[in-house]
Amino acid sequence: MSGPYVIRGSVSLPEAELMWRFSRSSGPGGQHVNTTDSQVELCFDLAKTESLPPVWKERALAKLADRLVDGVVAVRASEHRSQWRNRETAAVRLASLLAEASAPPPRPRRATRIPRGINERRLREKKQRGDTKRGRSGRDWG
């Protein structure tokens, strides 16, 4: 593995809390696929972890509620032929999923009023455009 997977700031996925499961994968690899367990499933017990700050943990539990099974979030990877690359992919995917789920909500939009001059100019241009189009009709030709 290529070291700790940083979620955000100084918080990273603890290797001791990661549960790995391997199985045969479909997809690229030919006969190699039939003999190696290259598909990776990475599980992380979000409900019981102590490595995340409590606020992040609450946010992640709320955002990933429909994806959790008994408080455990699972990520699968089987894109690559090698188990090692699939392990890397799964770990990076889990770290980015937790980073996104534990991110603070965006600041609410501050409502602003449209200046009266801009609104009046828009209506004036609209009226002018309508007059131009009305002038194109062939009603007065006779």
Q: Order the strands of the 72-77 sheet from edge to edge.
A: 18-23, 39-45, 72-77
pLDDT digits (tens, 9 = 90+) for 67-78: 888 989 999 998
Q: How far apart are CA 68 and CA 91, in angstroms?
A: 17
One-letter amino acid for residue 132 of the chain: T
The confidence score (pLDDT) of residue 1 equals 53
Alpha helices in 16-115 (DSSP H): 54-63, 83-101
Q: State the pairing for strand pair 5-8/11-13.
A: antiparallel
Per-block mean pLDDT, blocks of 10 residues, the chain (142 long):
74 85 74 75 89 88 89 90 89 91 91 94 96 82 55
Task: Check residue 35 and give its pLDDT.
Answer: 73
Rounded Cα–Cα distance for residues 128 and 90 (Å): 59
3-state DSSP assignment of residue 24? coil
